[in-house]
Structure 1
Amino acid sequence: MLLITGLGNPGAQYARNRHNIGFMAVDEIHARHRFSPWSKKFQALISEGMIDGEKVLLFKPQTFMNLSGQAVGEAMRFFKLSASDLVVIYDELDLPPAKLRIKAGGSANGHNGIKSIDAHMQGLLGSRDYRRLRLGIGHPGAKELVHHYVLGDFAKADNEWLEVLFTALADNIAYLVKRDDNGLMNKVALALAGKTANQENKAAPTAKAAPKAQSHIRQARQHHTMAAKLPASGPMADMLAKLFGKKDS
């Protein structure tokens, strides 16, 4: 069994926060696969389903971010899971927007939700080597701006890459279940690269077709037509003859 945990803060006022990208990702997985309705258990919202023949629990702690480990630890103890059975999805400041990275273990890198889970996992299993699926949100540029930034909402312009990211992640979640992390990262990267290419093609100005060169036959016909229209006699003919140096025969 795999416990896929998305991190975030409960409540409508936090729903669009950058800090809640883990909740958003898990919600998309829930929407695209056959999972049970959300129910409250282990201080969290939990849903059960099957992916690629394996039982999967989707998990959204409702303890607020800083206490995420309480809910995760309670579920891990109840189901008697090991560190390898846990995947945590969360926001990463040090990755550019739309980038996805997966690794087992590592540092919390200042993320309070991960700090809380690390503490509970260390006490429960003596190991923090669960898989961490980090979703890039970018960095505001200065440490003092981080708190406001992560608790701020995504901009409307972010919706395009968020939609592609969540769709690609949910559609290829079987790679995560099969422990093929590189396969999942490649699929998501390709989906995002395709979106970028389409945007560039739409933005590129359409080149105007160069005028077609006239054939020698067409040029000759036009010259003949013009020549045929010139007067053969009269004042105009005399003037043209003087202009082009034509001599009387």
Structure 2
Amino acid sequence: MYLVVGLGNPGTQFAATRHNIGFDAVDYIAYKHNIDLSKKKYRAYVGQGMMNGQKVILMKPQTYMNNSGESIIQAVNFYKIPPENIIVIYDDTSLEIGRLRIRTKGSAGGHNGIKNLIAHLGGQVFGRVKVGVGEKPPGWDLADYVLGRFSEEELREHVGPALRTVNDAVETIINDGYLQAMNLFNQKKV
């Protein structure tokens, strides 16, 4: 069993922001695999289903980004999911819009949602699919940038294709492992 988590903030005021690309990716995966994400459990929206013959739990924590670990650890403990079967999808401002970077461990890199998850899991070993949202322009506040919305052109040219690629990357992780997914998707422009 795999736990696939998209990070974001709840509420319409945060919908479709750069910081919520993890939510958007999990919504797309749910759509592609016909998984209902309407059940409220573990302070999150969750859905169970199958991806290429493997049981998966999709999750969108509703604790706000900086407290995501509080929600995720509940599901991890209940289902006894090993760290290598946790896949967390989130925004990365160090990557161009639409680029992916897959990792199996590492620091939070300044991302407060990941920092909170590391604290709750008690370690840095878990799968990550970082989705590039572009570097903040000079003079911008980071919070204002990540809580801003993509332009129509960015959505059409980069975000839509990136969501499809995230789905493909998660399928590859589940079917063929992280190394194969990293070889196929890291730093490839979508």
Q: TM-score, normalised by structure 2?
A: 0.91
Structure in which a larger fraction of residues adopt helix: 1
Match for residue 147 of structure 2 among 148, 151, 154:
151
2:48 match: 48
Q: Is the 8 A contact 1:4 1:86 kept in 2?
A: yes
CA deviations 1:78-130 (Å, max 9, x no partner) are 111111111100000111111101111101011010011000000xxxx3200
Equivalenced residues, count: 188
CA change 1:37–1:44 in 2 (3 A) is: closer
Alignment of structure 1 residues 1-249 onto 2, 5 Å: 1-122=1-122, 127-142=123-138, 145-160=141-156, 161-171=158-168, 173-184=170-181, 186=184, 192=190
Q: Distance in 2 between matches of 1:172 and 1:105?
A: 17
Name the SS of the counterpart of 2:141 in structure 1: helix
CA deviations 1:189-243 (Å, max 9, x no partner) are 7782xxxxxxxxxxxxxxxxxxxxxxxxxxxxxxxxxxxxxxxxxxxxxxxxxxx
Question: Is there any run of 5+ residues in structure 1 with no aligned partner, and where?
Answer: 193-249
Aligned residues with identical type, % of pairs: 37
CA change 1:81–1:171 in 2 (3 A) is: closer
Name the SS of the counterpart of 2:28 in structure 1: helix
CA change 1:13–1:188 in 2 (3 A) is: same
Give the structure with higher Rg (CA): 1
Question: Is there any run of 5+ residues in structure 2 with no aligned partner, and where?
Answer: none
Q: Distance in 2 between matches of 1:190 and 1:142?
A: 25
Q: Is the 8 A contact 1:139 1:146 kept in 2?
A: no
Q: Distance in 1 between matches of 2:33 and 2:189?
A: 19
Name the SS of the counterpart of 1:102 in structure 2: strand
Q: Highest relative contact order (Cα 8 Å, sep 6+), 1 or 2?
A: 2
